[in-house]
């Protein structure tokens, strides 16, 4: 008999949200992570919920569906745990240049896209777009304090009695005569379902169905400033995300260098310089901290979401830049499928099916 209805591999935001939803559906879930819970890409991210900036039709639909879940999802989680997850529905400002004009979808008003002309200082004091730049307000974009959200989800799982096995590497996923199971520390643990949410490490786990997921490194900084931002600000080369207590995040690079752990001082200086060019008051801000993260990326940059050809083995990973955004909808889709015994959603998941890379999979 399976020791759990579902084993979730990976304690990032997607995995934690999924385990919580499985518990809410009355299923016994367990979570495994090779490191500390929530300390991968979910910890490193900025928490931008920018669904209306996505351009791929299916991913945009997935992101918008998840963004619409966020207000209620966060409210319920905060009431359940008594913790504040730092949700900000204040919208974002997107700056485009002549060299990088806004795509047509940004010009049609969906998601609250509004072109701003003239002085924008009343809306965002201290913002100084460059000559020829255009500013757009996107009221449909929000943000979350991802680290606070991790803390709230962990508290929820503790209260629900969901076992969390940190610093416990899953060595392999096996499909045997007795069904599906995982091997950790040399011990096989059977489960009705196994969901691989291991992010950039997804493909490193031995499994009867394999995929390619590579890390795309990003470096970020946190500034401490007396100048307060009212919105998330996205511009070519930099984005700024306000946090409570005068903290402002600035990011982020996109590097194809594997699991390179180096934090570059030159990169940090460059991010602060670009932030200061956008908001001159930030030139006086203190550089509080720098860090890196590894975004999980499939060969086409789209998520791997759905069942594999191996019965009971699912993937919910490779969300690239959009794991924080897509955590609620991913959890809802996968947990609902496992509770009902079949996948039902009005969203088009075909572009995300795990077996789409026949050249990258093996039995």
Pair of tokens at residue 359: 């050249």
Cα separation of 15 and 35, whole Å? 13
Tokens coding 275? 């932030």
Would you say 142 and 51 are in contact if contact means Cβ atoms under 8 Å apart?
A: no
User: And the tokens for 201?
Assistant: 């490490």
For the domain made up of 92-139+215-297, the CATH class stated in words is: alpha beta
- Give the model's pLDDT for residue 117: 87
Enumerate residue ranges in the chain where pLDDT < 50. 107-108, 359-363
pLDDT computed for residue 362 by the predictor: 40
Q: How is residue 166 written in tokens?
A: 């940190």
Q: Which of 29, 26, 24 shows the shortest CA–CA distance to 2?
A: 29
The three-class DSSP label of residue 246 is helix
Among 319, 256, 327, 251, residue whose Cα is nearest residue 56: 319
Place of tokens 């002309």: 117
Q: Report the pLDDT value the prediction gives residue 105, as an integer from 0 to 100.
A: 52
Q: What is the pLDDT of residues 193-224, one digit of tens each?
A: 999 999 999 999 999 999 999 999 999 999 99
Domain range summary for the chain, segments of one domain joined by +: 4-82+146-212+299-360, 92-139+215-297
pTM: 0.95
Query: In CATH, what class is 4-82+146-212+299-360?
Result: alpha beta
pLDDT at 3: 77
31 neighbors 8 (Cβ within 8 angstroms): yes
């Amino acid at each position: 008999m399976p020791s759990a209805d579902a084993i979730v591999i990976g304690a990032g935001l997607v995995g934690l949200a999924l385990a919580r939803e499985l518990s809410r559906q009355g299923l016994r879930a367990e979570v495994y992570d090779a490191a500390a819970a929530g300390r991968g890409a979910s910890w490193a991210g900025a928490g931008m919920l920018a669904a209306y900036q996505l351009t791929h039709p299916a991913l945009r639909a997935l992101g918008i569906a998840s963004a619409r879940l966020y207000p209620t999802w966060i409210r319920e989680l905060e009431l359940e745990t008594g913790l504040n997850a730092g949700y900000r529905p204040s919208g974002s400002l997107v700056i485009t240049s002549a060299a990088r004009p806004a795509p047509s979808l940004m010009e049609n008003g969906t998601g609250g896209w509004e072109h701003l002309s003239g002085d924008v200082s009343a809306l965002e004091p201290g913002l100084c777009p460059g000559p020829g730049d255009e500013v757009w307000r996107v009221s449909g974009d929000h943000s979350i304090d991802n680290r606070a959200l991790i803390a709230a989800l962990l508290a929820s799982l503790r209260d629900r009695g969901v076992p969390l096995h940190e610093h416990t590497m899953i060595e392999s996923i096996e499909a045997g005569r007795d069904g599906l199971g995982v091997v950790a520390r040399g011990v096989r643990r059977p489960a009705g379902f196994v969901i691989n949410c291991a992010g950039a490490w997804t493909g490193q786990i031995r499994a009867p169905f394999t995929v390619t997921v590579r890390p795309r490194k990003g470096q970020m900084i946190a500034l401490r400033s007396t100048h307060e931002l009212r919105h998330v600000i996205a511009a070519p080369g930099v984005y700024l995300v306000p946090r409570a207590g005068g903290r402002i995040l600035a990011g982020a690079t996109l590097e194809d260098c594997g699991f390179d752990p180096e934090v570059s001082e030159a990169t940090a200086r460059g991010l602060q310089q670009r932030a200061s060019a956008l908001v001159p008051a930030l030139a006086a801000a203190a550089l509080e901290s720098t860090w890196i993260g590894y975004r999980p990326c499939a060969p086409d940059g789209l998520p791997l979401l759905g069942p594999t050809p191996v019965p009971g083995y699912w993937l919910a990973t490779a969300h690239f830049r959009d794991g924080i955004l897509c955590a609620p909808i991913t959890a809802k889709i996968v947990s609902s499928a496992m509770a009902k015994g079949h996948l039902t959603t009005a969203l088009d998941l075909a572009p995300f099916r795990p077996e789409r890379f026949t050249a990258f999979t093996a039995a």
